[in-house]
Structure formats: structure tokens, C-alpha cells
Amino acid sequence: MTSRLLVRLAALAAVAVFGTTMAKIVPVFKSIRLRNCDDDDGYPNHFVWSKVTRPSTYVSLMSGDFLVTKPGNNNLKLVCEVFKCEDRDGAKCKPSVKLNFDQMCDMIKMKGKAWSPIFANFKPTIECPFIADTTYRMRNATIDTEAASKIIRLVSGVEKYYWKIKGTVIKNGRSELACIEYMVKVDQIEV
């Protein structure tokens, strides 16, 4: 018998004895919160309300109303600071990485990114320039877990921490229009 045939027979025997194939480890993203930043100094654009619900172990849904009073223009920058935190309160956090998206308006339109379903969920549709005196409504939005999984593969021990992402929207490199905080816990489960 060839070694390939032996491997197949062993796999079939394992399924017959244990009733399943070998388990696969996959990440589960548990959104904890989505809100205005703790240091919110009266940013002109902000969540009027927001909440995260988890109808099941594997699904997190985000909803909220985001009020735009100062619209900005097509020259918006998003600065994302990522912190690894020891607890869900975010009291003990250490900076991990800082990402600059110099063309936020292009980022909003991207498909297949972890954030794509969030921006796509807003009504009216979020696009640049934002519309002044408008409330953008998001209901039951999720992250793209497949795209997010590709990112976290690069992070060793991701499941040991809570991850806080602080996003600041900047207009023309100077004035801050909004500051949003998102907290997530990544668990690894067998399927």
C-alpha cells in the first residue's frame, strides 16, 4: 500500500471511531462596545446613542445613530490607535499599533475589509463629503470576520487581550471632527 492510501484509511478510521474529522480552530470576534471616545471633548460629529448586542456566541451586532453637524470635505484622514487591554473596561491598556488612513473617503468605499459591512450598513449611505445636520443610522452591523481573521493571524496571543481601537477623524490635517472607540475580544474556538 502507498503511504497516501494509508493516510486516507487512517483518516476514515478516525472518523468512524470518533464520529468527526479533526477540529479546526477559528476566531470569534466578540464586540464589547462602540461609542464616542472617553476623552470626548465635544467633537462636532458623534454617536447620539450606540449599543452592541450578542444574540449568539458567534455573532455581535452594532447599532447606533451618528450625528454629523460639521461635514468636512473629501480630504479626511482617519487615525486608528490600537491598544491591547487586560480587561474589558480598558483601564489597563498598552499601545500596540497606530495606523493612518490618509484617504478616509476611499477607505469607506473599500470592499472585503473588516470594516466594510459597518460603513455599508449606514443609512443614508456614508460617502464624502458627509451631509451636514444629518443623522446616519446603523442597525445590526457586523464586521467582516473573514477579513478580520486575516489581520489577527499576524498577532501572537491575540486571544489573551481585549482590543481597543480608537479612531479619530481629522479634516485637512488639523481639526478633529470625531473620535470613536471600538472594543473587541477575540476568542479561539474549535469547530
Query: Residue 63: helix, strand or coil by DSSP?
Result: strand
Classified as helix, coil or strand, 72 is coil
More confident residue, 75 or 181: 181
Q: For residue 40, is pLDDT > 70?
A: no
Domains plus CATH for the chain? 23-190 (2.70.220.10)
- For residue 20, pLDDT over 60 is answered with no
Q: Is the pLDDT of residue 88 over 80?
A: yes
Listed residue (97, 93, 94, 92) closest to 81, CA to CA: 97
What letter would DSSP give residue 130? P
| pLDDT confidence band for 21 (50 / 70 / 90) | low
- CA distance readout (Å), 176 to 98, 112, 152: 17, 27, 29
How far CA 154 is from CA of 4, 87, 158, 189, in Å, comes to 32, 22, 9, 18
Please give the residue that has the higher pLDDT: either 125 or 18: 125
pTM value? 0.82
Q: Which helix or strand (DSSP H or E) is residue 104 part of?
A: helix 104-109
Q: What is the mean pLDDT of residues 7-28?
A: 57
Q: Is residue 124 scored above 80 in pLDDT?
A: yes
Least confident of 82-86, 151-155, 184-188: 151-155
Nearest Cα to Cα of residue 130 among 46, 53, 23:
46
Classify residue 174 by its DSSP letter.
T
Average pLDDT of 160-184? 91
Q: Average pLDDT of the chain?
A: 85
Asked whether residue 93 carries a pLDDT value surpassing 70, the answer given is yes
At residue 128, φ and ψ (nearest 5 deg) are: -90, 145
Measured torsion, CA atoms of residues 64, 120, 25, 164, in degrees rounded to the nearest 10 = -50
Residue with cell 470518533: 18
* Cell numbers standing for residue 8: 486516507
Between residues 23 and 52, which one has the greater pLDDT?
Answer: 52
Is pLDDT above 60 for 15?
no
* Span 154-164, pLDDT tens digits: 777 888 999 99
* CA pair distance 47, 70, nearest whole angstrom: 13
